[in-house]
């Protein structure tokens, strides 16, 4: 018999069996078949009852473990939870304990650089302040999942750290754990197991870095995968490990040329739903200066902040533009600052850069605001004569 005949035969046999079952099931006097049906039904009912009882016991245990009671409305409103800052201070928190942080943005805007700066500041290997916001130090292990282009992540880290220093080398060896490849399985396939894997590989880390989120999931688009990612996140946070993930925005299209909002984070809405804080790095790929915006604040939104990259050293600096300008003018004293000085400190660019004109105009608007608030005084420039001698405007702190 050839394969096609065999296939037709199997189909016919199945149809005959199906007809026989339906005929027997419709015959009330077929006691043997009825007994088989009842046995199967009873087994299914027992299994379902067992599952309901197991779920009830698990829920009771969870309620007992959680403890606590319902509270009246006034008590609820007055009992504001205290957040332990990881990056930020007071209500201006970019990251807090138990609140996942996601850094998103288009390609090439420095998401990995900022994540690494945070990690190394946390380890005490960089400044304890990033973009003017304090970073809390922690001696627990850091698990860095370098899943997306691990070679580039390695090069970025090497530029930031002086491994010839014995103290630095010892701390990196003891505290930093890097997984330089795809994970052994995707998080959305088994959230509990993935959280356990993070705890085991990272030696119960204080923080785990997902670089990037798309590489730990089978999909970032489906709500099923997004919900599972959220579950994974909550399991890891419940284990006492804070999370920091890098992700990207949707691509610009005709109807949305600036995908710079929370809704523009690529994929399912559940990807950001479980995050305590979402920040956006916005700018051109490879630019020396980008902007940090707080899309989803924990309490009060932070920024926008200026972020300036030093590609040679791999570092990043910046902060609140107004604060940077006031600091610069106060340090300059009675001499004041020129527009070139202001643009360099806020946007990290000079007149040799193609974006100088746009950057200088935006910084000049900031200087004008400080003048209007009575914080700065502007000394107008002078036109040069036939022999030159032009002087640009200067700004002096009051």
CATH number at residue 370: 1.10.10
Could you count the other beta carbons within 10 Å of the beta carbon of residue 113? Answer: 23
Same-domain check for residues 315 and 336: no
pLDDT band at 59 (very low <50, low <70, confident <90, very high): confident
- Tens digits of per-residue pLDDT, 335-379? 888 999 988 888 888 888 888 888 889 899 999 888 998 888 888
Which residues lie below 8 Å from residue 184, measured CB to CB, with a gap of 6+?
Answer: 197
Query: Could you tell me which of 254, 250, 244 has the C-alpha nearest to residue 216?
Result: 244
Q: Does 308 share its domain with 327?
A: no
* Three-state DSSP state, 58: helix
DSSP, residue by residue, 243-303: EEEEEEBPPPBTTBS---SGGGBSS-THHHHT-SEEEEEES-TT-SEEEEEEEE-SSS---
Higher-confidence residue of 212 and 19: namely 212
- The per-residue pLDDT for range 84-141, each reduced to its tens digit, is 999 999 999 999 999 999 999 999 999 999 999 999 999 999 999 999 999 999 999 9
In a domain, 355, yes or no: yes
pLDDT the model gives residue 2: 53
Count of structural domains, the chain: 3
Token pair, residue 281, equals 């790095």
Q: What pTM does this model have? A: 0.76
Q: pLDDT tens digit string along 168-177?
A: 999 999 999 9
pLDDT reported for residue 27: 62
Question: What pLDDT was estimated at residue 18?
Answer: 56
pLDDT of residue 8: 52
Segment 208-221 shows an average pLDDT of: 96
Same structural domain for residues 28 and 93? no
With respect to residue 71, please indicate whether it lies within any of the assigned structural domains: no
Same domain, 244 and 285: yes
- Asked if 241 contacts 206 with a C-beta cutoff of 8 angstroms, the reply is yes
Range of the domain at 342: 322-397
Cα–Cα distance for residue pair 288/282, rounded to 1 Å = 12
**Does residue 78 lie within any of the structural domains?**
no
At 82 the pLDDT is: 83
Return d(Cα 92, Cα 197) in angstroms, integer. 33
Q: Is the dihedral of CA 129, 126, 278, 257 positive or negative?
A: positive
Contact 241, 207 (CB under 8 A): yes
| φ and ψ of 380, to 5 deg | -65, 145
Instruction: Estimate the share of the chain in helix, then strand, then coil, as percent rounded to the nearest 5.
Output: 45, 20, 35
CB count within 10 Å of CB 157 equals 21
Same domain as 327, residue 314: no
pLDDT, position 17: 56
């Amino acid at each position: 018999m050839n394969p096609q005949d065999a296939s037709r035969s199997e189909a016919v046999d199945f149809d005959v069996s199906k007809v026989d079952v339906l005929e027997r099931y419709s015959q009330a006097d077929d006691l043997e078949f009825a007994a088989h049906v009842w046995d199967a039904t009873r087994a299914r009912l027992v299994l379902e009852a067992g599952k309901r009882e197991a779920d009830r016991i698990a829920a009771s245990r969870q309620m007992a473990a959680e403890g606590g009671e319902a509270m009246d409305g006034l008590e609820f409103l007055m009992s504001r939870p205290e957040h332990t800052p990881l990056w930020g201070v007071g209500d201006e928190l970019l990251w807090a304990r138990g609140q996942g942080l996601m850094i998103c943005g288009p390609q090439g805007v420095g998401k990995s650089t900022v994540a690494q700066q945070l990690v190394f500041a946390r380890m005490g290997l960089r400044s304890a302040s990033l973009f003017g916001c304090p970073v809390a130090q922690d001696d627990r292990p850091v698990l860095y999942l370098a899943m997306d282009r691990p070679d580039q992540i390695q090069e970025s880290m090497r530029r930031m750290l002086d491994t010839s220093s014995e103290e630095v080398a010892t701390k990196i060896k003891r505290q930093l754990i890097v997984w330089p490849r795809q994970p052994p399985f995707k998080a959305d396939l088994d959230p509990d197991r993935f959280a356990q894997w993070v705890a085991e590989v990272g030696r119960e880390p204080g923080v785990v870095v997902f670089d990037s989120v798309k590489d730990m999931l089978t999909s970032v688009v489906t709500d099923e995968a997004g919900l599972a990612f959220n579950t994974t996140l909550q399991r890891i946070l419940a284990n006492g490990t804070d999370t920091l993930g890098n992700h990207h925005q949707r691509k610009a299209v005709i109807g949305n040329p600036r995908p710079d909002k929370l809704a523009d984070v690529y994929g399912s809405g559940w990807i950001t739903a479980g995050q305590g804080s979402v920040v956006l790095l916005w700018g051109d790929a490879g630019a020396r200066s980008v902007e940090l915006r707080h899309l989803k604040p924990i309490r009060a939104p932070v920024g926008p902040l200026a972020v300036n990259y030093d590609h040679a050293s791999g570092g990043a600096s910046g902060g609140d533009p107004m604060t940077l300008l006031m600091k610069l003018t106060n340090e300059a004293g009675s001499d004041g600052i020129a527009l070139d000085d202001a643009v360099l400190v806020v946007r990290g660019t000079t007149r040799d850069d193609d974006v100088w004109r746009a950057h200088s105009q935006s910084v000049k608007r900031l200087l004008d605001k400080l003048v209007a608030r009575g914080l700065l005084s502007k000394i107008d420039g002078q036109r040069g004569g036939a022999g030159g001698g032009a002087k640009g405007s200067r700004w002096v702190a009051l």
